[in-house]
Amino acid sequence: MEEREMNARELSKRLKIQEKEIVEHLEHIRQTLKNQKKKLLVSPFQCMICNFIFKDRKRLSRPGRCPKCRQGHIEAATYRIISIKKSGQENIDD
């Protein structure tokens, strides 16, 4: 996940575990990274119908439906691990 962004389905296939288990592991990873000067960067879920972006969502689980248009066609969030510089700025190494 430090090399590129991945969504829950990609992580599930790579780790050979169910997709619903990924969220629990991501929460644990998020907490563990705090001690390592790293951060779990989350690109938010987005409605594929009205383009609503779930930018304020704190939970990592997939939303059931869009609060704006009430449709359930939600594009998956992506996750990436990044290093944090001492000044608090993010350092994304490509």
Number of domains within the chain: 1
Assigned domain for 86 exists: yes
Q: What is the pLDDT along the chain (94 residues), one digit of tens a residue?
A: 677 899 999 999 999 999 889 999 999 999 899 888 899 999 999 999 999 999 999 899 999 999 999 999 999 999 999 988 765 555 554 3
Residue 42 has a pLDDT of 94
Beta strands in the chain (DSSP E): 6-7, 38-43, 46-47, 74-75, 78-84, 90-91
- Give the separation between CA 60 and CA 65, rounded to whole angstroms: 14
Assigned domain for 60 exists: yes
Residue 86 has a pLDDT of 62
Assigned domain for 21 exists: yes
Assigned domain for 1 exists: no
Q: What is the tens place of the pLDDT at every residue in 8-17?
A: 999 999 999 9
Residue 79 has a pLDDT of 95
**Residue-range definition of the domain harbouring residue 41:** 6-91
